[in-house]
Structure 1
């Protein structure tokens, strides 16, 4: 069945079932309402496919090289997205998605030979299974776009693996939301390409920003772009404070039950409550009373790593984290090993490991005085404790003599840029950059002369 005949069939089905006005819809039975909705959804999916194909053709005829003679340009638009947006009346994001899908479909189309006007067979692209499913109606445009954007462009030589991944994700499409499907595709991509996962993680980290401004009415605004870990931390804060409003667990403690009831009955909107929670956290700072602000559960980001897997994931949301980010998290929060059987059923939960105690952190602060990275002046209270011997790779121990203080930025930089810190016995800590000579790390403590005095004058 071609697109046009399927489109007509859907139109006829909707026309036969759908009432002519709202008054008639109110008179339909539940089953009839569902039937109308199903017909309208099928019609919408066919329309999306036809529109995407047309947008793809328009994109091939609106290239920069075509100048003002291109299809979109000749109609007064800078590009195909602007043309599609005007014709559809939708948002720019929806128009961009339609063009992306159309261009993907065009990649799998066989071009015509000008001499014979017959199609010349070409090797199908890795995402051909997705295009075929879209053409058959087994995949919606939104689902295909979620998989395409989640998987991204395969690395050189990875097209066949990406094709298999696309086929596997097709099996997930029918019982996942579009958001979950995109996240699953991202997880598969990072498992298959751990080096690319780290590069993408760092690229998102570099885009982090916070900006405030005041409009002409004196209203203060802010814009913030999160890195992956920052976003997970803020979600954890909001979720911990808002869980009674979001159907969280029932409480057996009477004080916590009463607090949950007050939150549910609070006249503020969810957005206002979230704002007030964040302001409370900012005001409280490092000495925040977790029980007062969040109740019985202090927020935090838990990372889950399957043994021998190249990437980890946040427990809530399943957002992927590359191996260096996992190692950094282990330095700061420790880890708990869970043994599972081949079906994923938990067999044993080990004890918490790999974490400096509060007393050890004090000792590190006395010795290091702050971040030991050359030229950094961040104080000790703002630093994280780094294990110079990685737990898995080097059999690292959580000993004061094998740890140093690093600020968050340099801690992340060390893990992601492949620096290493070593120490021979009780000698100095030495930083080994990946592409430079070793650098001796000097403590910043004003008391360092007590255990590392300068040589005496002759």
Structure 2
């Protein structure tokens, strides 16, 4: 009886089997026993190995795409595979095909000299070079970008890649082409701009989206300014854990702070209705500092939070007295005007809390004579400056205020004496 011959697997399959066997012998818990130097060395080696495996994967994807003959179908096949989704699968196909125009980049990735993100930037750039570029120019371009990738972070590499084609154009042509490319890029960015918000019903909302580059930089700049560690402007509870906050936590709280600062009087109206939040609260609850307030959307907030916001934000409080119609409606004129703020800042020079050095630009205008529930006015004599942290404390701890004979505002905290900030003295 003749034994049936079984074809031997291709060498490439044998190599994959060997990789599997090696990984089986690498327990993930073993890294904890290494010293920090060896741990860092291990991380770097694993990242390079990951890049080398990525090169093999991309080459396999390109071969699969050539066999199927349909890039969309290739993406769908990959999306049904291990741990992928449609967007990531199609991105992989695009990168794999672009690498066919960048052989040196693929070799560098396979050797572990480039990360996959770097290789994707270079390959995409090479695929988009003008048709008139000669083979020698293409070679110089690719060699330059590979060298740049080893020196610069990925953000700088992307910027250099955008302008690499200018080397093959006349200066005047390069400027025109860049302007046109930026215009098209901005148009596409606007088309992709989106935002979403979801109420998680636990007192928080989730949000996300996509912004054009300009507006993303503007938003990040504003949040970084608010989230700076030296800006201890949050609530007393948040101040205590300020040093332990992660960067995302800082940015999240900065974003909430930015929303509170939105100039609602500058926003467009909807059917003649201003873009303000209406808040309902019972008169007795407001005066007794108990109970809760209700937004027109049904969301509940504490009476203390409402009193704090009412000092300086464009909310429209409706005070009720057991009837469905409001007993009183606060007005947007409760907000101090820019001219009034300048006058108050000229007197106070910053937060009036003793020992606080917050300048006027970091402060909020506070109605010190009375709160709006008891008929506070919005004039210069009724206004004073408090930084956000001390503004919270003034409401939470029921600080007392008075105007001294020389016109400056003094503070008395609970179980304390009258004090003032002495920044005004020579």
After TM superposition, the score normalised by the length of structure 2 is 0.46
Q: Rg bigger for which structure?
A: 2
After TM superposition, the score normalised by the length of structure 1 is 0.43
